[in-house]
Amino acid sequence: MNKIRRLPNNLINQIAAGEVIERPSSALKELLENSLDAHATKIEINLIDGGKSIIEVIDNGKGMQLEDLKLCLERHATSKIINQDLSNIQSLGFRGEALPSIGSIADISIETKEENSQEAWKISIFNKEKQKLEPSNIRIGTKVEIRDIFYKVPARLKFLKSNGTETRYCREVIKHLAMSHPNVSFILTVDTKNIFNWRGNKQINFESTKYRLSQVMGDEFSNSSVTVNKEKIGCRLLGMVGIPTLNRNTGREQYLFVNNRPVKDRSLLGALRVAYKGLIEHSRFSVAVLFIEINPLDVDVNVHPAKAEVRFKDAAKIRSLIINGVREALDNAGLKTAQEISNKMFDKIETTSLNLNNDKEFNSNQLNNISLLPGANVKTPNIVELNHSKSFPLGAAIAQAHETYIIAETNNGIILIDQHAAHERIVLEKIRSGYLNDNIEKQILLIPEIVKLSSDHFSVIIKHLKSLLKIGLVIEEFDLNTVIVREHPAILNKVKFEELIKDIAEEILEFGNEFVLSERLDNICGNMACHSSIRAGRNLKASEMNALLREMENTPNSSQCNHGRPTFIKLSLKDIENLFGRT
C-alpha cells in the first residue's frame, strides 16, 4: 500500500482553516475584509456567544452574480487576483481560502444580490455538504452567516476562551478595520444588544480619520494626542500618537496599518518604542494609530495566511520614517499633559467637614489664639519678586509647597509643577542637544574628583572615554581601578560623581560589546540629569521658580520627566469652581 497519498478536500480545507481561522475573530476578519473589498459603505455585525454560535455580517457592497456565488466556496477561487502578479496586491483578501476554510469547520450560508440584478440567491454548507442554490429576498449586497464554529473540529473548540473574551477579540478586529476605513459605517450587536454604531463619513480625508479615531479610541486619546505627518521618497506616515503622559502597561493600543491593511510587525513596533525613548519608562507603552502609505511594489503582504505580517523592500527607511515622524510630532506638541491626569486627581479629592462637636465649653476668647486654617507647609514668595506675568503658558509662580511643588497662577487657573521632574527634563534635553550638535558646553572642576571603582566598572569606563567626552565628561585613568573627573557638562549642578560614574558603567555593562552611545544616549543623559537636577526638599526663591517655568516653556518634551511621568498638572478656574460646587 502506498505511504504517500492525496488528502481529501475536506481535510485540506481544515488544514487551511488551521492557518487562517484560529478563533471566531479570525473568521469575522475574513468576512469584513470581503465586505470592504466589495466597496461596502455600511456593515452590520451580529455576534452570539462571542461568535461561537453565530457570526453574521451584512453589507451593502456590490454583491455577487450567480456564477460567482457558485464558485465562492471553492478553494482558491477568488475575484481579487486576475494574473500571476502577487507583488501588486491592494485588496485586503486575496488567497481564496477563507470561505471554503470556514465551511470546513462550521455551517455557513451566503445570500447575495448584485447591483442592477433582479435576482438574489442563497448558497450554504450544512454538515460539510454543499446545499442547493435557492432564491433569496436580500437587498443589494451580501449576508454571510456562520453557525457553530469548530463544531466539526472539537479539538479546536475546547481551546476557545469565554464568550466575553472572544467578543473582545472580535471587537479588536472591528476596531482595526473601522480605523482604516472611516468612510464605512460599522454597527455591532452582541447577544441582541446594540454595542455601537460608528457612522461613516463620505469625505475621505484625514479629518474623517481623526473623527473615526475619536469614535474608536475615545475622548481621552483625542484630547491627549498629536498628529503625525511625515513623508520620505516613496512613502508617507500619517496618524495620531498619544503624548508621553498617556501610556499603558501593554502595547494593546498600538495600531499600525500598511496601505490600510492592519499589521503586527515587530520591527515597526520597535521603531515606535525608539521614538518614545527617554519620554516614557521602558516598561510602559505608548498609545498610537499610524498609517503607512507605500508603493505596493515595495512591500510584500503575502508572507502569512493571516496577512498580519508584511515584509518591506527597505525596512530601514520605514523604521526611520516612524522614529523621526513621531519624535518630531512629540517635540512640536508643546506644553501638553494627558487629560486623564487631571481627571484622576479629581477622583481622589474628597470634601471633608470639621468635627465641631466638643464636650469642652467654648470660650470665644480662644479665637484670638488659633488660626482659621491649619498651617500648611507653603512658602509664599516675596511680593517684590512677583514680576512674571500670568499670561505666560505656565503662568507666574506664587508659592512653593513642601519644598517640592511649585504653584503657579495663570490667567484662567493654576498649575502644579514637580520641580525635580521638570528640571530633570530640562537638563536631559540640553545635554542631548549639545551632543547631537557637537557643541556641549563643559566646565572645568576647580578640584578634580577622584572616583574609586570596581574592576568591572573601571574597565568599561576606560574603554569608553572617547564616547563620554562627547557628552561633556572629561575622565582620565588615575590609579588602579581609579579615575579622575576633570570636566563635566556645564548644565550639571552639584553632581555626586561617584554615583554618576557607577550608574553609567552599569548602563554600559548591561549591553556589553553591543553598547553604542547614540543608542543609549537618553539613558546615559537621563542618569546625568537625575544626579544633578533640583531635588525635592530644596527651597526655591520666586525668581528661581519663575526661571524654571520659563526654561520649561522653551524645552522640548517638558510636559513629562525622563520616566514619562507628568511634570505639571493644570487646573482651570472652572475645574476649581466645580470642586466647590460653584457651577
pLDDT of residue 305: 58
What pLDDT does 132 receive?
79
- How far is residue 361's CA from residue 442's CA, in Å, rounded to a whole number? 68
What lies within 8 Å, CB to CB, of 395 at 6+ separation is: 388, 408, 409, 410, 411, 414, 415, 549
For residues 245 and 384, which has the higher predicted lDDT (pLDDT)? 245
Alpha carbon distance 307, 20 (integer Å):
9
Q: What is the DSSP string of 37-70?
A: HTT-SEEEEEEEGGGTSEEEEEE-S----HHHHH
pLDDT of residue 322: 95
Q: Is 82 exposed, middle or buried (0-12, 13-18, 19+ CB in 10 A)?
A: exposed
Choice between 181 and 504, residue whose per-residue pLDDT is larger: 181
The pLDDT tens digits of the residues spanning 46-57 come to 999 999 999 999
Rounded to whole angstroms, the Cα distance separating 195 from 50 reads: 13
Give the three cell numbers for residue 563: 520616566
Summary mean pLDDT of the chain: 82
Domains of the chain in sequence order: 9-79+93-198 (3.30.565.10), 218-333 (3.30.230.10), 442-490+495-531 (3.30.1370.100)
Residue 88: pLDDT above 60?
no
pTM of the complete model = 0.70
pLDDT single digits (tens) 518-537 = 556 666 777 777 766 666 67
Query: What per-residue confidence (pLDDT) applies to 496?
Result: 83
Which residue did the predictor score with more confidence, 189 or 69? 189
Q: The C-alpha cell of 130 is what?
A: 454543499
> How much is the pLDDT for 397?
94
Residue 77 has what pLDDT?
44
Radius of gyration of the chain (CA): 31
- pLDDT (0 to 100) of residue 386: 44
Q: Given this model, what pLDDT does residue 323 score?
A: 92
Q: Give tens-digit pLDDT for 111-162.
A: 999 988 889 999 998 876 777 789 999 999 999 999 999 987 888 888 899 9
pLDDT for res 191: 97
280 or 303: which carries more pLDDT confidence? 280
Is 372 or 85 the better-scoring residue by pLDDT?
Answer: 85
- Out of 89-93, 334-338, 408-412, give the one with best mean pLDDT: 408-412
- Kindly tell me if the per-residue pLDDT of 432 is higher than 90: no
Mean per-residue pLDDT for 240-245? 91
Judged by DSSP in three states, 421 sits in helix
pLDDT of residue 5: 55
CB 471 within 8 A of CB 438: no
The mean pLDDT of 205-229, rounded to a whole number, is: 92
Q: For 150-159, 270-279, 344-353, 566-575, which range has the lowest pLDDT when averaged over its residues?
A: 344-353
Q: What is the pLDDT of residues 269-298, one digit of tens each?
A: 999 998 988 788 878 899 999 999 999 889
Is residue 30 within 8 A of residue 93, CB to CB? The reply is yes
By mean pLDDT, which of 161-170, 198-207, 364-373, 535-544 is the weakest?
364-373
Do residues 328 and 276 touch, judged by C-beta distance below 8 A? Answer: no
